[in-house]
Amino acid sequence: MIAAVCTRYGPPEVLRLVELETPVPRKNEVRIRIAATAVTSSDTYVRGLLLTPAYRMMARLALGWTAPRRPVLGMVLSGVVDSVGAQVRLFKAGDRVFGFNPYRFGAYAQYVCWPEDGLLAVRPVNLGDEEAAALPYGGLLAYHFLRKAGVLAGRRILVFGASGAVGTSAVQIARHLGAEVTGVCGGANADLVASLGAERVVDYGVEDFTERAERYDLIFDAVGRRKSAAALRSCRRALAPGGACVSVDDGKPKLRREDLVSLGELAAAGRIKPVIDRTYALADIVEAHRYVEEGHKRGNVIVRVP
């Protein structure tokens, strides 16, 4: 099979297209013929080891010292179950699925074997592979942190970084839950964020949201502290009494399969719109990583697998 491997930690050019042996599913695994994947910010952090020195040391111990032990990166996929292990009961060959695996990786390839009981679900029939691949990463992270913060109908939510993969999902999920949403993003993305359901959009290049009169029950940093720390330094003065600031970098998220199923159902019903910025071929994986690492993508960057 064709796969993109990470030969060492470094810039996007460390990724190489190679021919690998097609994996065989173990007894509890399904083998998926991948049609589309996504380049997430997490992928770029792993590839480039773009972490603080302390976290970089821990990452080397966990992932591999000079290169990832699992050299085929990619956490997100949409495709077709090709074969199943002897004990698999949830899926069968021919099922069209989508999913997310932040530990096993392997989606930058034509085939991958993932456990049947992981973050994997049948793809709604009215979603294409590229749309389905745009749902799990941002959607599952947004679901986790909004639930953790207790987002309910009527709550006033501010999403910082509302035009990224997590941010576009957070705006839509919070609106689905009945919250009143303000999105913070660059001016070029204001129309997009408003179209996703934000009642108000703040251009961070023009205005500091902490200087506004509005107060929020929750400020959700959908960018991550590495990039947003300076902008959010004074965020607490924009909180309502009892309000909270939550970052996508806070702790290890507990992602749930039922949320993945819910994302598919909401997207199929038109309640959530998968946002795709650009689509690349697997052969152009270096260019896709380079673009994501620039930090200006709108929603998701999708990769088609031949």
Separation CA 21–CA 25 (nearest Å): 13
Residues of the chain with pLDDT under 50: none
Spans of all domains in the chain: 2-134+274-304, 140-247
Reduced to 3 states, what is the DSSP secondary structure of residue 155? coil
136 sits in which H/E element: helix 136-148
Distance from C-alpha of 28 to C-alpha of 73, rounded to nearest angstrom: 21
pTM of the model: 0.94
For residue 274, the one-letter residue type is: P
Note the pLDDT of residue 55.
78
Q: What pLDDT is attached to residue 56? A: 85
In terms of DSSP H, where are the helices of 156-202? 165-176, 190-195
Please tell me the predicted confidence (pLDDT) of residue 230.
73
* pLDDT at residue number 221: 95
Those residues with Cβ within 8 angstroms of residue 137's Cβ, 6 or more apart along the chain or in another chain: 38, 40, 42, 75, 76, 100, 165, 166, 300
Is residue 114 within 8 Å of 101, Cβ to Cβ? yes
CATH numeric code, 2-134+274-304: 3.90.180.10
- In the chain, the amino acid numbered 199 is E
49: left (phi over 0), alpha (psi -120 to 50) or beta: left
DSSP E strands, 146-266: 156-160, 180-185, 200-203, 216-221, 239-247
53 phi and psi angles, rounded to 5 deg: -50, -40
State pLDDT tens for residues 26-63: 999 999 999 999 999 999 999 999 888 877 888 898 89
Q: Which CATH superfamily is domain 140-247 in?
A: NAD(P)-binding Rossmann-like Domain (3.40.50.720)
Query: What are the pLDDT digits (tens) for 95-108?
Result: 999 999 999 999 99
274: which residues sit within 8 A by CB, 6+ positions away?
127, 131, 132, 134, 135, 267, 299, 300
221 within 8 A of 250, measured Cβ to Cβ? no
Within this chain, domains 2-134+274-304 and 140-247 share the same CATH topology: no
Beta strands 216-221 and 156-160, pairing class? parallel
Task: Confirm if 1 and 109 have CB atoms less than 8 A apart.
Answer: yes
